[in-house]
Amino acid sequence: MLAIPPGLDPDLLRSFVLIAEGGSFTRAAQAVGRTQSAVSMQIRRLEEALGQPLLLRGARGVEPTQHGLWLLERARRLLALHDEIHTTFRQPAVAGAVRLGSPDDYAIRWLPGILARFAASHPAVQVEVTCAPSNELVDRLAAGELDLTLLSEGNEPAGARVRWLWRGPLLWVGTEALARRRPLPLTLSSNGCTWRNAAIAALEGADLPWRMAYTAASLSGSLAVALAGLAITVAMPAPLPDGLRQLGAAEGLPPLPDFAIGLLRGPKTAVAEALAQHIEENFRLETSFEPRMRA
């Protein structure tokens, strides 16, 4: 089991993670409720304890050194474990069932670790997960069939209070040979998908001919078609299967817009609030709400 070595204050690690992900001492200081000079002192203490420089100022702001990158991955895990222990022993016991919605793409990438940690810290809570497109999940939440749901930006109801968890770019994914074919063969989700709309708008804005070769219900289905060499698709930044690569201007493709992942809640219950808080905390540790993450 991971343990925080003597002398490594979790508060120092938390400030380091916020700076490394956000590229700014100022934003990190605001997040932890300290002055910028106090956060700078924390980083000096951490660097002195480890004997290595961890952060450098670069063209895009503050960036981690090689030692800092190594620490960043492990600091996230240490803080997640630290917060799990703290939550388990300090929060009142929560019991019951909670119904969570999530698009397939997010469920595969983020939910396994998040739900495993939640189960460890809230053993008396039963989580029921429904996977469907964002627009369907929003309708189910409104109908009272879900307690909270993840969703893609562009599907939120007008005036809804959405907690935005992550923002980053959409990417073209496929093979170089297919990317240069005209009309461009695409595999995307069905009508109403914000990713589909963004891809088509980008191609039409660049006056590139395209055709919908395949329609898939989820990203995994689109990636399977792309792996077969039949079409290209769009995806969020993530490790890709062997045989697929990120595509872009070098292959004559137009840029795609950023998009965000949000959390929409229904009526408040103790169980739903506990899961919502857990999801938000874990997204803060594992991801960054900064456009610089497109690197």
The tens digit of pLDDT for each residue in 17-51 reads 988 888 888 888 887 788 889 989 999 999 999 99
Chain segment 147-189, per-residue pLDDT in tens = 999 999 988 988 888 999 888 889 999 999 899 999 999 999 8
Q: Three-class SS of residue 216?
A: coil
* pLDDT at residue 83 tops 80: no
Long-range contacts, stretch 52-61, CB < 8 angstroms, 24+ apart: 54/16, 54/20, 55/16, 55/19, 55/20, 60/23, 60/292, 61/23, 61/24, 61/292
CATH class of residue range 10-90: mainly alpha
SS (HEC) of 73-124: HHHHHHHHHHHHHHHHHHCCCCCEEEEEEECHHHHHHCHHHHHHHHHHHCCC
Q: Domain extents for the chain?
A: 10-90, 96-168+259-294, 171-256
Does domain 171-256 match CATH 3.40.190.10? yes
CATH superfamily entry for domain 96-168+259-294? Periplasmic binding protein-like II (3.40.190.10)
Closest CA to 113 of 79, 162, 166, 77: 77
Quickly state the pLDDT bin for 90 (edges 50, 70, 90).
low
Output the six-digit token pair for 287.
């991801």
Q: Three-class SS of residue 259?
A: strand
Quickly state the pLDDT bin for 287 (edges 50, 70, 90).
low
Contact 59, 292 (CB under 8 A): no
Q: How far apart are CA 175 and CA 232, in angstroms?
A: 7
Domains 96-168+259-294 and 171-256 share a fold: yes
Q: Three-class SS of residue 192?
A: coil
Output the six-digit token pair for 227.
């792996």
Give the model's pLDDT for residue 236.
84
Axis-axis angle for helices 270-286, 66-90 (nearest 10):
170
Q: How far apart are CA 64 and CA 67, in angstroms?
A: 7
